Homo-oligomer: A and B are copies of this chain.
Amino acid sequence: MIRTEALRVFVTVAECGNIRDAADRLFRTQSAVSMTLKQLEQELGASLFEADRKNSLSDLGRFVVDTAKVLLRDHDTAIDQIKHYATGKSGRLRIASVPSVAALLMPEILAAFVKERPTAEIDLVDTNSADVRRLVSTGQADIGIASVAHGDSGLLHEPIFEDSMQLVCQETSPLAHHPGPLEWRHLNDMALILNETTRGIQAVEFRALAARTSLNVRNVISLLAMVRAGVGVTLLPGLATMGLPSTLLARPLADQGCRRQVCLLRREGRVQSPLAIAFQQHFIATLMSMTERFGILWTYKE
């Protein structure tokens, strides 16, 4: 059996022209190198050098050096690739995230992550929570960031942070300059536009309000356009209100229990790729240092 390492020893000796230098380079003793060479020659049944002195190769030796050099190069790059993949330095990662996180938090988080991993390929999809869950559970995304729905089978979720819901209205709205947090009753006279994030609100007062309206807009851009056009007001998580257009305002609610929970989702019973693991660690660690700046409430455990 010809060991790859024996070939490496031989190539090193051929390059150095003598055993001592090769032994130094390989962090072995002369005798170890000598014996490896002898064993290799025995294996091949022919001499690799012209003489005892290792400064001139035999015909066979030249052939073996040439062949072994490309073998070793290929071998080393392949092992390297494997190690990179195994340590999450390369590979492919598909992230599905709700728009607020994708737009406001991800840029900063991903910037540092990809900088350290120039060979990693990362796909970021932003879509609504339900779709994020679908993508993750069907294996089309490796990691999801969304609110959690009970009854999600096959998904593991780890709560990351909470985000208090805010009212979004025109700056000309009567509620715009209302002093202090808004009570539910203040919304009684307003036209309310529902959206995906309002589905998670449990408060009975809100559910009563919601029952009176049938306008439900999915896309955030459209939703804000509606509010801007005076169709009505809506509720959005605090994070999503950070880049609000100038004619709109966000106002806090008095009901502190009215929050959306953002979770990290992954498929159950599935070994994650090292890159996915690395991303999660990076995501948690980076995000933790960003909580204050974005006014979010950290709920991650462990």
Contacts and interface: CB of A to CB of B under 8 A. Distances in A.
Contacts of A202: none
Given A45-B87, A46-B86, A78-B70, A60 B273 contact: yes
B86 A44 contact: yes
Interface stretch (A61-69, A143-151, A234-242, A292-300): A61-69
Contacts of A269: 50
A272 to B, nearest CB: 7
A49 B271 contact: yes
B79 A273 contact: no
Contact of A78 (B58, B68, B273): B68
Given A44-B86, A60-B273, A63-B82, 10 more contacts: A45-B86, A46-B86, A46-B271, A49-B271, A59-B272, A59-B276, A64-B85, A67-B85, A71-B75, A71-B79
Contacts of A270: 50
A91 interface: yes
Per assembly, the copies of the chain total 2
B58 A82 contact: no
A35 to B, nearest CB: 19
A40 to B, nearest CB: 10
B78 A67 contact: yes
A59 B266 CA distance: 14
A71 B2 CA distance: 15
Nearest to A85: B63
A83 to B, nearest CB: 7
A83 B40 CA distance: 11
A47 interface: yes
A2 B49 contact: no
Contacts of A91: 59, 63
A252 interface: no
Contact of A82 (B44, B59, B81): B44
Contacts of A273: 58-60
